[in-house]
Chain A
Amino acid sequence: GNSVTQMEGPVTLSEEAFLTINCTYTATGYPSLFWYVQYPGEGLQLLLKATKADDKGSNKGFEATYRKETTSFHLEKGSVQVSDSAVYFCALSDRGGYSTLTFGKGTMLLVSP
């Protein structure tokens, strides 16, 4: 079956530090990959996605590249802000029709001033 593994948190950084949150996956076929973000007290928001190998998803300064050879989709940001503090979820979905996402457990990011 499909599975997603994320690094355990919390990740604690100072403002303007470089961020990496690791994500690796196991899937049959060629899944689409997603990062969702959940701010305190809110639901999940799509942050970025990539649909095929070597695609790079980007949004709000965050980036992730679909690496088929290493089955990874690591999230990066060059300079984090306090407002980036949230829980980040890596997910995958099988292609075609409606989708059912398989989520990782989430990684909490705490950014201090």
Chain B
Amino acid sequence: ETGVTQTPRHLVMGMTNKKSLKCEQHLGHNAMYWYKQSAKKPLELMFVYNFKEQTENNSVPSRFSPECPNSSHLFLHLHTLQPEDSALYLCASSQGLDREAPSGNTIYFGEGSWLTVV
């Protein structure tokens, strides 16, 4: 078990659909992240939540809507996506902002959700 669980692992959706990706972490962390991995591109940070508060939004289009109801759960709501949004979406978690981290926090990833937009 990875400690960070993502569902579904695979999702195919039409451009007019509304769907959600779910992430749950069992590591007692307080920061959670969404990353996007596209072919031949570096991993892109999308959103960061720290103690349920969104602290970063890297100019992500509004058709992606994150939700963090508590420190253990993170959602990514999807609506009216485009084919170029097809990618692997990775959830991750780490210690939160109130922890001393002189050595840098380690981020732990889930196995990802493969999204295909048709």
A95-B102 CB under 8 A given contacts A100-B56, A101-B107: yes
A side interface size, CB within 8 A: 26
CB-CB contacts of B51-62 with A at 8 A, as 1s and 0s? Answer: 000011000000
> Which residues in B have some Cβ–Cβ distance to A below 8 Å?
2, 4, 6, 30-31, 33, 40-43, 45, 48, 50, 55-56, 88, 90, 92, 94-97, 99, 101-112
11 contacting pairs across A/B (C-beta < 8 A): A43-B6, A43-B110, A46-B106, A96-B101, A96-B102, A96-B104, A98-B50, A100-B45, A101-B107, A103-B42, A103-B43
Q: Is there contact, CB below 8 Å, between A43 and B111?
A: yes
**Chain A neighbourhood of B6, CB < 8 A:** 43
> Which residues in A have some Cβ–Cβ distance to B below 8 Å?
31-32, 34, 36, 42-46, 49, 51-52, 89, 93-101, 103-106
Question: What separation, in Å, do the CA atoms of A97 and B56 have in the docked complex?
Answer: 14
